């Protein structure tokens, strides 16, 4: 994965009015934290950040007070309509150390089982993997054209790029072709009792334990 570059400007965390003023000026409030260093409250150019997101950048070289900081895009907060970015969290990382991250899945092909009365379902939309920050895939492509009714692909069956290690449970079903109208059984009794999972932020927290700071 290519690394994005952003120049930041220092800001004081003065609350929602100041944040709105930054956004009107084409800047997005952000924080850079972790790595044993103090929290940096900054702004980033909205246009440059939008371009980086469109290119699926998740690792950035940030210019913070004239110093280069390698950072991972931890989370992005949008407005209620999902159109405008309100706030961004960056986590300082060491590009020589492996980290855990969720990568979106890209299903390629037309399962042949669809012609035999089946339907394609994919319980997973992403896989959790471990790799170096510079080796994070933009997506993981999975060929599904060979799938007939009753066939499935588990996490352990997915071919990963060199240097990328699977963290998700190997036996998890990634996708399958089933007869229409048949609901899949929960993988475990615990999963059935737990109910639907809560939605997560845009990205998975890396292995570091630092929590994002509270905005004042």
CB neighbours (10 Å) of residue 35? 15
The reply to whether domains 4-92 and 99-194 share a CATH topology is no
The pLDDT score that the predictor gives to residue 197 is 41
Contact (Cβ atoms closer than 8 angstroms) between residue 148 and residue 113: yes
Contact (Cβ atoms closer than 8 angstroms) between residue 177 and residue 109: no
Q: Where in the chain are the domains?
A: 4-92, 99-194
The CATH code of domain 99-194 reads 2.170.120.20
CA 66 from chain center: how many Å? 28
The pLDDT score that the predictor gives to residue 185 is 57
Side-chain half-sphere CA neighbours of 12 within 13 A: 2
- Model confidence over 165-186: pLDDT tens digits? 999 999 999 999 999 876 655 5
Q: Is residue 45's pLDDT more than 60?
A: yes
- The Cα-based distances of 178 to 98, 114, 192 in angstroms read 37, 9, 20
pTM value is 0.72
- Model confidence over 99-158: pLDDT tens digits? 999 999 999 999 999 999 999 999 999 999 999 998 999 999 999 999 999 999 999 999
Q: What is the b/e burial string over 81-103, where b = at least 16 CB atoms within 10 angstroms of the residue's CB?
A: eeeebebbbbbbbeeeebbebbb
Rounded Cα distance, 90 and 88, in Å? 7
- Fold held by 4-92: Ribosomal Protein L25; Chain P (2.40.240)
């Amino acid at each position: 994965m290519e690394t994005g570059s952003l120049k930041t400007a220092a800001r004081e965390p003065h609350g929602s009015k100041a944040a709105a003023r930054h956004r009107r000026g084409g800047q997005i409030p952000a924080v850079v934290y972790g790595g044993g260093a103090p929290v940096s409250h900054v702004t980033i150019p909205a246009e440059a950040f939008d371009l980086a997101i469109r290119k699926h950048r998740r690792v950035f070289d940030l210019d913070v007070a004239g110093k280069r900081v390698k950072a991972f895009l931890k989370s992005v907060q949008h407005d209620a309509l999902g159109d405008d970015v309100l706030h961004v969290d960056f986590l300082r990382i060491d590009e020589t150390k492996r980290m855990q991250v969720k990568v979106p899945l890209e299903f390629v092909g037309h399962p042949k089982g669809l012609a035999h009365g089946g339907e394609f379902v994919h319980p997973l939309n992403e896989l959790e993997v471990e790799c170096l920050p510079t080796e994070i895939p933009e997506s993981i492509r999975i060929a599904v054209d060979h799938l007939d009714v009753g066939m499935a692909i588990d996490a352990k069956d997915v071919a990963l790029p060199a240097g990328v290690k699977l963290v998700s449970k190997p036996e998890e079903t990634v996708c399958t072709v089933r007869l229409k109208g048949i609901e899949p059984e929960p993988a475990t009794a615990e999963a059935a009792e737990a109910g639907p999972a809560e939605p997560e932020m845009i990205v998975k927290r890396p292995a570091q334990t630092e929590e994002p700071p509270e905005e004042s």
